Amino acid sequence: MKPSIETARRLANALNVTLDYLVGDSDTTVFDKDITKRIEAIIDMGSEDKNALFKIIDAYIRDFKAKKAYS
């Protein structure tokens, strides 16, 4: 049995995954709608804003990895 597109979309929303993930066409193993919304907003930014944001994100990731390594 194959669900309709609408049913599949509702199922994906209920499971908090993408349709691609639901049907096995995604490499993403973890899906977070908040992260996806932020990524979509970043895509619309200019390159200067993106680079500034990436520097901040990279610093947080670096600090997180350091804390994890020493704990």
The sign one gets for the Cα dihedral 20, 24, 25, 28 is positive
| CA distance between the termini of the chain | 50
pLDDT in tens, the chain (71 residues): 788 889 988 988 888 787 888 888 776 666 677 888 888 899 999 999 999 999 999 999 999 999 999 98
Specify whether the CB–CB gap between 55 and 65 falls below 8 A: no
pTM of the model: 0.56
